[in-house]
A and B are shown apart, each in its own frame.
Chain A
Amino acid sequence: MTYAIETINLVKRYPTKARRGVRPTPGAHPGRRVDSFWGLFDVLLRRRGAFIEALRGVNLQIKEGEVFGLLGPNGAGKTTLIKILCTLVIHDEGQAYVHGYDVKKQPTEVLKNLQAILPESRGFDWRLTGRQNLNFYALLYGVRDREAKERIDYLLDFTGLKERADDGYQRYSTGMQRKLLLCRALLRNTSTLLFDEPTAGLDPTASAEFRGLLREKLARGEGKTVFISTHNLKEAEDICDRVAILNRGKILACDTPTNIQRLMFDQRILKISFISSGRDERREKILNSLKAITGVNNITLDIGQDGNFQTITIQGSEDMDISAILAVLVNSGLKIGVINTEEPTLENVFMHLTRQNT
């Protein structure tokens, strides 16, 4: 089966001066071989010394038409992965394919099938209008004149930029600039689109609008494969069919948001607020009693300035004995106000996994 995007044991290392960088083995630099005259030139001029592993054996398979989210904290390797896929960074080991084309060996074919929207790579001329900028890129993409005109009109309408198409780019708001980036990425009508932090810097309304555009119009409406990297977990939960959590260059989990919540964190969360707890001198005893109950894994206390319990959050497995918990609290004289049970969110899973692997 040909995937829209597939990576196999993908490794990327960057040279660094940082002390925490890894030292290469003597006499060999990772991923470098002298295989030609120019390779020799390159090896002679290469930077020696430590390197940082940005990606450490990343394996992903993304199906056509899927909306896939790559989640990770800053420095996780998200942008590196996206840049490898759109041929702007060359990986050291492993393979990466876009619709079956090798990103290292067939970059031209890859770029005919994929477009990337990188927030820092604007590439628009500030003195030209939005339409003039799109015309320029349509020519670079080799779109025929007539087709380009029709496509640009369609895209400006599609993204709601038609009214302002003939304004100078420098007059565009951040949201409009982002939409123009989207127009440019769609000029070639490729089947796969990569977005690096698509809604970063947008206000909540513009973000929601942009998310709707990605999921409803592009993925559902036009059947495109959409790959987004984000650290906005709500965004990923809302629009992605599947997500992968990347931390320090490694994929920690990859599944649907619901399955990740269930599989990786098969816990329940019980949140209890108290009306009046009185100053409890027996706090330690209560906590020890709660910890001894079957299924209880973790207890977080929220204690007021007066030293009293305000809320208590208990994480436990699915077989956690809630009646025993309530019995301990009631027998201790605490007056319960509200009891909530919560399913762990993607954010809980994300925090849990990324902290574990720090």
Chain B
Amino acid sequence: MNLPIELKQIIAFTKRDFFSWTTYRTAVITQIINVFIGVFSWGVSATYVQKPVQEMYNSDYISFLVVGVAISNLILPLAQGIERQLNPWTLETVLMTGIKTPVFVIGNIMWTYIFSVITFVPYLFIGIYFFHAKLNVNISCTIVAFIISAAILVGLSMISTGLRVVTKATDPVTWALNVLENLLSGVSFPVIYLNTIFFPGFSTISWFLPQTWVYHLCRLAMLTNPSLLNWSTAQEFLKGSIFAIVLLPLGYRVLRWGINRSKREGTLGWY
């Protein structure tokens, strides 16, 4: 067929991008699944809108949502910071300086984390003054919740980086956690609502996701003014800490493994 040259050129670009996309096999599969789970998550969220959250946090929906959105803004850069910094030029060069792996990870995350802490305040300000969110904050609990959350997310971030160094695209573990976060971690509705939507006991799955604990501990600290001396509160914080204690060293080992594997396969400089 005699197509105009401009059209042929557009087809050439499209074909190039398609073939490039298909080379990232994991990403192709995960992107397709993302579409379905994404729609499902939004559907569940939409059915929940404006219901009270008395059972878990003794609060109203808008306060629950404002804290959730602020926390997701805080944790997203931690999970994404290192991924964005990761490219063949910087990775090889930085590794040649001989710096330690945890320093490499924390160093790459730190600015994005500081920036998101700064933007955390406007989120709360707008939530309180424009949408009348009612926060009931315990400062010491909030600090502890942030520390546990940061440790969990640095661990996840290292796992993600370690796997990405090998797969060169989306890694299946982090992808699964991120996709399930929207549906199961209670970003925009309390996890116990899953028992109503699906079947009783379904929300138990949520408590095996590290992100659920990030949201849960921060909401406990900012909505219910708890005391760490209270045994039931302390128990919740201890459960969250277990995730941090497991994920930090695990993340470190996975990152080391990923880098070593790439060095063996000679693909460290690939992307």
Output the nearest chain A residue to B95 by Cβ-Cβ distance.
A88
| Across-interface contacts of A140 in B (CB, < 8 A) | 94, 97, 99
- Closest chain-B Cβ to A320's Cβ sits at a distance in Å of 46
A83-128: which residues lie under 8 A (CB-CB) from chain B?
83, 86-90, 92, 107-108, 111-112, 115-116, 118, 120-123
Q: How far is the CA of A31 from the CA of B98 in the complex (A)?
A: 25
Are B96 and A88 within 8 A (Cβ)?
yes
Output the nearest chain A residue to B97 by Cβ-Cβ distance.
A140
B81-97: which residues lie under 8 A (CB-CB) from chain A?
88-90, 92-97
| Across-interface contacts of A268 in B (CB, < 8 A) | none
Output the nearest chain B residue to A12 by Cβ-Cβ distance.
B266
- Closest chain-A Cβ to B121's Cβ sits at a distance in Å of 27
Are A116 and B96 within 8 A (Cβ)?
yes
| Across-interface contacts of A45 in B (CB, < 8 A) | 261
- Closest chain-B Cβ to A86's Cβ sits at a distance in Å of 6
Query: Chain B: how many interface residues by the 8 Å CB criterion?
Result: 21
Are A141 and B264 within 8 A (Cβ)?
no
Contact with B along A38-82 (1 / 0, CB 8 A): 100110010100000010000000000000000000000000100
Are B265 and A123 within 8 A (Cβ)?
no
Output the nearest chain B residue to A122 by Cβ-Cβ distance.
B89
A274: interface (CB < 8 Å):
no
Are A88 and B263 within 8 A (Cβ)?
yes
Q: How large is the interface on A (under 10, 10 to 19, 20 to 34, 35 or more residues)?
A: 20 to 34
| Across-interface contacts of A42 in B (CB, < 8 A) | 257, 261
Are B265 and A118 within 8 A (Cβ)?
no
Decide yes or no: A123 and B266 within 8 Å by CB, A38-B253, A87-B96, A107-B98 being known contacts.
no
Q: Which of B95, B96, B260, B265 has the most CB of A within 10 A?
A: B96
B269: interface (CB < 8 Å):
yes
B184: interface (CB < 8 Å):
no
Are A122 and B93 within 8 A (Cβ)?
yes
Q: How far is the CA of A54 from the CA of B264 in the complex (A)?
A: 12
Decide yes or no: A120 and B88 within 8 Å by CB, A108-B98, A115-B96 being known contacts.
yes
Are B97 and A111 within 8 A (Cβ)?
yes
Instruction: Other than A12-B266, A45-B261, give 15 A-B pairs with Cβ distance below 8 A.
Output: A42-B257, A47-B265, A86-B96, A87-B96, A88-B263, A90-B263, A115-B96, A116-B96, A120-B88, A120-B269, A121-B96, A123-B90, A123-B93, A123-B94, A141-B98
Q: Please list the 6 inter-chain residue pairs (A to B) with the smallest Cβ-Cβ separation, ordered nearest first.
A: A123-B93, A111-B98, A140-B97, A121-B92, A90-B263, A90-B264
14 of the cross-chain contacts (CB-CB < 8 Å) are A38-B257, A88-B263, A89-B264, A107-B98, A112-B98, A121-B89, A121-B93, A121-B96, A122-B89, A123-B89, A137-B97, A140-B94, A140-B97, A141-B98
